[in-house]
Structure 1
């Protein structure tokens, strides 16, 4: 699980586009905390804090604590908006996290031991079908990433979700099949070599008929 962090926020009494623009002019980011059967809470966060958290990675899979005037609320970022030109954050939605809160999150896939894959050593290519996998899990036990081991894999092999050892309580949202995460495929260079090798053999019968 990713390391948690804390953000300080100011409560916002007014909401709407005009209020949001005023918050941004003040060097802050408008945000909302919702869920856990409580009314939504409009807040304003430091632009700098939010920018570096979003672009630092793991933002949507890390539970955080937001300090709103001394009241600390555990949350999970659920969505955010970025300026399409500058990538500057414009708005963030947070979900309140209680003791029994469960969520759906997209978790990155990491691969290890590429240097121990016979297929890749022979010129094969790791073809990643899913860079992320969606899981249903407790909000306080979200894995930072899942790991697939490439040791011993050869060209033509497929790696499925069943090859991943998952923490307790973490289940893939797709539950009706053992879906593929990656394959070891032959490279285009290998195919060209195979075609070149096959060409003389194919030409031989034609020459014999002359």
Structure 2
């Protein structure tokens, strides 16, 4: 489970291109908070704090505590961000309110373990990754960092379905109508000799 990340925030009242550009010149990034528990709320984040974390792969499946400095803290989940096309600096972030008992939908990256213990990979098979991330329903306080798929004993032709993957407690895939494939081990492709 990811730790709660803390970012400094301040309320803002002006919206539109002009005020957003003025905020960016002042070293801030415009953001909005929406979701259950209140009306949409505009705020501004400190650019340097946000830039350090917004590029991480785990940023969008981690609870963030926005500290408004007056004792008020809002628990949110990053949902979308806009980045500068050249510098990749964050330009705007959308946050979704996430109370401690809420269930959220997030994409969790898949990590493949024990490739050296797979007989199929040892003899030249190739790991065919079908899903690098799996969308799941997870408790807001227990979002997993990653989902592990163990390849121990897997032979060429073996397929790993979601039903064979051990998910953390309280975590369920959003796709429930089929037993979808996460990865498979396929035979090596060899070009015919001339």
TM-score, structure 2 as length reference: 0.94
Distance 1:69 1:15 in 2: 21
Further displaced range: 92-101 or 153-162: 92-101
Q: Which residue of 2 aligns with 1:21?
A: 21
**Contact persistence 1:11–1:69 (CA under 8 A):** no
SS of 2:185 mapped into structure 1: strand
Q: Deviations over 1:41-75 (max 9, x none)?
A: 11111111111111133001110111113211111
2:107 aligned with 1:106: yes
Q: Deviations over 1:84-123 (max 9, x none)?
A: 2221111001111113322111000000000000011001
Q: Which residue of 1 aligns with 2:41?
A: 41
SS of 2:166 mapped into structure 1: coil
Distance 1:96 1:67 in 2: 13
Asked which structure has the greater CA Rg, the reply is: 1
Q: Which residue of 1 aligns with 2:86?
A: 85
Q: Which residue of 1 aligns with 2:151?
A: 150
Q: Deviations over 1:159-191 (max 9, x none)?
A: 1111211122211000011100101011223xx
**Contact persistence 2:104–2:138 (CA under 8 A):** yes
What count of residue pairs does the alignment treat as equivalent?
193
Distance 1:99 1:81 in 2: 27
Q: Which residue of 1 aligns with 2:175?
A: 174
Matches within 5 A, 1:54-203: 54-70=54-70, 71-189=72-190, 192=191
- Structure 2, gaps ≥5 residues long: none
Distance 1:69 1:122 in 2: 59
**Contact persistence 2:98–2:104 (CA under 8 A):** no
The Cα shift of 1:18 comes to: 1.2
Distance 1:5 1:137 in 2: 18
SS of 1:115 mapped into structure 2: helix
**Contact persistence 1:63–1:77 (CA under 8 A):** yes
- Structure 1, gaps ≥5 residues long: 200-210
Moved over 6 A (4+): none
Distance 1:63 1:167 in 2: 17
SS of 1:109 mapped into structure 2: strand
SS of 2:92 mapped into structure 1: strand
TM-score, structure 1 as length reference: 0.87
Distance 2:169 2:111 in 1: 19
